[in-house]
Amino acid sequence: MDFSKQYDLVNNSVVRIISLISDGGKPKAVGSGSGILIGDGSYILTCSHCIIQGTQTVIYLEGDEHGHVPDVIFDDTDLDITLLKTRVIIGKGAKLKNLEDVKIGSECFVLGYPAYSNTITALGANIAGYEWKNKIFSLKIDASVNHGNSGGPLFDAAGNLIGIVNAKAGKIDTLLKQFQDSNTNNIVMQMNGMDHIKVLKTLVNQMYKNLNLGIGTAISIAQIAKLHMEVSVLMSQ
């Protein structure tokens, strides 16, 4: 699938989402994800798990040196969707499309910032199937979705926004994340001056950043609009 023309129309709507903490007075990135501008270009849709509590969320367009700190309009952890809003328009809002025209086997493409990248990565895909889980309707895509693509847009072949990619799903990365976040304060393994638990957690952290889930999922725009009037209104504009 050649989606180069569609990419040129929508790439300026894709944003990088960075979670920052203060480390000795200097900002330190502790999380990275993707998002998509909608509406007038000041609204951002992303995944809820891309927003880390206790950190400062900053939004960047590709090439921007200075980011934007958004306000949270809603944070639906069950749906894993968050709507943010910046105080200024930072780009062009993507066109939203109802799911009714999306068919299994139809071509699509994913844009995002995987693995802490500061440049957009584009992936061609097909709609591989549908999934109902906990009353949430998602699209399955046969794209190599990676950590950092979460919250990024899924477009149809015409460049219409049809879903928000959720790269969190998957038993392996969930297990790695649980191990990464585990408390090892009471576990001491010192051999030849090396903390082996710390070494393992560093390795897991790198594996988690670069984990390829094979089959990705995306939460449909129609599902989001059905549950949240704010997105439904933006969809009708």
**Parallel, antiparallel, or unpaired: how do β-strands 121-133 and 107-112 relate?**
antiparallel
Dihedral (Cα; 113, 119, 123, 128), 10-degree rounding: 10
DSSP bridge pairs for 75? 82
210, amino acid identity: N
pTM for this model (two decimals): 0.81
221, amino acid identity: I
- The pLDDT profile of the chain, 237 residues, written as one tens digit per residue, is 789 999 999 999 999 999 999 998 899 999 999 999 999 999 999 999 999 999 999 999 998 888 999 999 999 999 999 999 999 999 999 988 766 668 899 999 999 998 778 899 999 999 999 888 777 888 999 887 777 899 999 999 999 999 999 864 444 455 455 555 655 555 444 445 556 677 677 666 656 555 555 678 999 998 899 889 999 888 776
DSSP bridge pairs for 220? 163
Residues 178 and 157: beta-carbon distance below 8 Å: no
The alpha-helical segments, DSSP class H, found in the chain are 4-10, 171-180, 196-210, 221-227, 229-236
